[in-house]
Amino acid sequence: MAVEVYLNFNGNCREAVTFYETVFNTNKPEIMTFGDSPQNPSYPLPEEAKDLVMHTRLSIFGSTVMFSDTFPGHPFTIGNNVTLAVVSGDETQMRKAFDGLKDGGKVTMELQETFWSKCYGSLTDKFGVEWQFSHEENK
Strand order in the sheet with 53-60: 32-33, 53-60, 63-69, 2-9, 82-88, 130-135, 120-124, 106-112
pTM: 0.74
What DSSP designation does 31 have?
-
Return the CATH number of the domain spanning residue range 1-71.
Answer: 3.10.180.10
CATH number of the structural domain 81-139: 3.30.720.110
C-alpha to C-alpha distance for 72 and 112, rounded to whole angstroms? 23
What are the 10-residue block averages of pLDDT along the chain, 139 residues in total? Answer: 88 94 92 93 91 95 91 83 89 92 94 92 87 82
pLDDT for 68: 95
Res 69: pLDDT:
96
State the pLDDT at residue 139: 45
Give residue limits of the domains in the chain.
1-71, 81-139
